[in-house]
Structure formats: structure tokens, C-alpha cells
Amino acid sequence: MIRARIVSTGSYLPEKVLTNQDLEKMVDTSDEWITTRTGIKERRITSNGEASSTLATHAARSALEMAGISPEELDLIIVGTMTPDMLFPSVGCLLQDKLGAKRAAAFDIFAGCTGFIYALSVADSFIKNGNYQKALVVGAENMSKIADYQDRRTCALFGDGAGAAVLVREEGDRGIISTHLHSDGRYANLLYQPGGGTAIPATHESIDKRLHYLKMDGNKLFKIAVKSLEETVLETLAFNNIKNGEIDLFIPHQANLRIIQAIAKRLNLPEEKVFVNIQKYGNTSSASIPIALDEANREGRIKDGDLILFNAFGAGLTWGAALVRW
Ligand code: UT7
């Protein structure tokens, strides 16, 4: 059987730390509220000049180094991001140049916090159908640049960072087993950035109205997230005819500890099989899964042959899951 195997991982977090105590001085919030409602204690924030492609480059170099693969060997680069350096060209192309990955086709996937799973799915298809041998899949986000630090309902949630994985075409059981993608555009306005695109280009008025910042109806999203994430996991398990108990490690998108715990409970997964790092980084959107995967990998929490489940939910709305044999 031909599979796209994840042969290495990498991640990068900017140095600057923004704690809940820092946020208490900026908006009407408290460490107690943020911790109990989200599980977040602190997040990393980029400095000026650190764009998404900068974060992506650090994470990608780390993954390439672990794989022992040179940038010139890459056939494909896909970046999941909703905070690109600029509207165009893509972070993928900027990353391709920074790495010197001269042969690689490069592009971005705009699927909100589900970006990494969408990117993984596309790379998997390209590899399985024989188009490409070696792919770099990255999730890179600079959420602090679109977070409104006057809006307590959103600014405490998000952080910056990037994670990467190198995929190689291989014969055998190990690799991406299946991916399951969903979207529902009817809920586009539950999480969006209204200004800066072609609907509302930048004007003095759009800036005065703070339309270039992220807007979110968290409470409505929460309910849809728990339901659709559970459904996608059940779909993935049924599609592959496997039981919950066979999952060795569940690496969910880190949006809210309460969402992660609700899914884990519904799936009857014990705490030690669920990877959580939201307390350190907040919600890094499409970077959250590859950052968590890299931490789990480097901490030795994944063994050869383990069955790993990813799932994510985000703007679009989009959601999805991926099952991987390590
Ligand atoms: O990344 C993927 C997409 N995003 C998500 O999946 C996010 C899903 N949603 C959530 O994680 C949660 O809904 C939030 C953490 C965003 C909010 O928690 P909640 O329990 O749903 O709170 P809420 O939005 O219902 O707000 C309850 C109260 C409100 O006060 P009033 O209007 O009742 O007086 C908010 O203004 O909590 C207030 N509030 C805060 N208070 C202190 C909201 N944010 C804060 C804050 N500090 N940071």
C-alpha cells in the first residue's frame, strides 16, 4: 500500500510571552476567568517584523533537519494559514524562497483553524496519486496581528506560532490512513475578519470601525464545535472500522480546554491519551496541531506504529479529522 508518511516534525514559537496577568492590565478580564473558561495561562506573541512566513521558516527548517531532507528535495509546500504576510503572494511562495526549495510547487490553504488538516489532506492526495514524493506541510499563524486588544471576548484566546511536518511517499502501513473534511459557509459570520479584503477594502472608516480585527461569536461556535468534532471523529473511526480504545494519542486543535475535555469524555478517551498544550500557547489556529504534534514527538510520547487522531474546527466554518499510523 502506498502512503504519505510523516517522517519528521518541527515547530517555532515567538519568544515574547503575553500572560493572563498582562491582559488584566489591557482589558476588563481576569486570570481566573480566562483559566476557568479556556484553560489558557499565557500565549506567545510576535514582535514587529516577525510575519507568518518568518514563523513558518523556523518551523520548516526544524522539520527538514529532523528528516535529514534538504529544501531542494521538496516537491510540494502547503501552508495552512488565515493570517498571511499579505493578501498575496502566498506564505507558501515566501517560504519556498526563504528555504531555497527551488523545485517545490507552493501554495496556501485558507481553512481557518482547520488549515493544517486540510493541507495534510491535499498533500496526502498529491502523494498517493503519484504526483509528488516529498511534501512540506505547515500551519503558521500570526493571530496577534488581527486580535483586537480592546475586545476582551477575543483577545485572550489567541497566540502566534508555526508547526511543520515532512511527508514522504512510502510503501507500507505507516502514514496518513484517512482524512475527513467538512465545511458550512452558512456560519461564516460566527468567526471572521470583515475588513481588508475586496468586500470592505481598507479605508479610514473601516479602520475607525475596527473592521480589520477578528470578530467572533464564541458561545455559538462552542456548541457547533463540540457537536461537529464528535461527529467527525465517529465518522473517522467508522470509516476505518476501528474502536475509540485503539487510539494511542488524540491531538486536537487547541481552541478551548473545555471543548477538548468534552470531546475526550464523549469518546471515552483517558487523559493520558489526549495531548494538551493550550495553557502555554492559547489558540494558534492552524498552527496548533502541528505544534502539538512536534511537542508530542520530541517528548517521546509517540511510538512507531501508534495510531494518532487529529481533529480541528474553525472559521468558514470548517472542521475535519485525520487518522495517522506513526
Ligand atoms: O478556533 C476555533 C474557533 N473558536 C472556538 O471554537 C471558540 C469556541 N468558544 C469558546 O471557546 C468560548 O465560547 C469562549 C471562551 C470564547 C467564551 O466562553 P463562554 O463561556 O462561551 O462565554 P460567553 O461568550 O458566553 O460570555 C460570557 C460572559 C460575557 O459577559 P456578559 O455579556 O454576560 O456580561 C462576556 O462578555 O463572559 C464575558 N467575557 C469575559 N469576561 C472576562 C468574555 N470574554 C471575557 C474575558 N474576561 N476574557
Instruction: For residue 52, give the nearest of 5, 128, 118, 108 by alpha carbon.
Output: 108
Given a cut of 70, the residues of the chain with pLDDT beneath it are none
The ligand 1 atom at the shortest distance from the C-alpha of residue 314 is 2
Task: Give the percent of the chain with pLDDT over 90.
Answer: 99
CA of 153 to the centre of ligand 1 (A): 5
The ligand 1 atom at the shortest distance from the C-alpha of residue 23 is 48
Indicate if 155 belongs to the active site.
Answer: no
User: How wide is the angle at C-alpha 206 spanned by C-alphas 205 and 208, nearest 5°?
Assistant: 60
pLDDT of residue 188: 97
Q: Which of 222, 227, 229, 279 to mutate to test the pocket of ligand 1 (most atoms within 8 A of CB)?
A: 222
Which one from 20, 142, 256, 283 is the annotated catalytic residue?
Answer: 283
Distance CA 291, CA 214 (A): 22
pLDDT of residue 157: 98
pLDDT of residue 250: 97
The ligand 1 atom at the shortest distance from the C-alpha of residue 258 is 11
pLDDT of residue 166: 98
Q: What is the 3-state secondary structure (H, E, C) of 277-288?
A: CHHHHCECHHHH
Asked if residue 113 has its Cβ within 6 Å of ligand 1, the reply is: yes
Going along the chain from its start, the domains and CATH numbers come out as: 2-172 (3.40.47.10), 177-325 (3.40.47.10)
Give per-residue pLDDT as tens, 117-135.
Answer: 999 999 999 999 999 999 9
pTM above 0.95, yes or no: yes
Which one from 58, 155, 180, 253 is the annotated catalytic residue?
Answer: 253
Give how far Cα 23 sits from Cα of 18, 34, 123, 249, Å: 7, 10, 38, 33
Q: Which parts of the chain are beta strand (E)?
A: 2-12, 16-19, 42-45, 76-80, 105-109, 134-142, 160-171, 175-183, 191-192, 215-216, 249-252, 307-314, 318-325
Give per-residue pLDDT as tens, 240-266.
Answer: 999 999 999 999 999 999 999 999 999
pLDDT of residue 92: 98
Query: Which three three-digit cell numbers place residue 308?
Result: 494518532
Distance CA 270, CA 173 (A): 26
pLDDT of residue 183: 98
Contact 180, 235 (CB under 8 A): yes
Contact 165, 9 (CB under 8 A): yes
Asked if residue 258 has its Cβ within 6 Å of ligand 1, the reply is: no
Indicate if 93 belongs to the active site.
Answer: no
Asked if residue 163 has its Cβ within 6 Å of ligand 1, the reply is: no
Asked if residue 263 has its Cβ within 6 Å of ligand 1, the reply is: no
CA of 303 to the centre of ligand 1 (A): 37
Indicate if 253 belongs to the active site.
Answer: yes
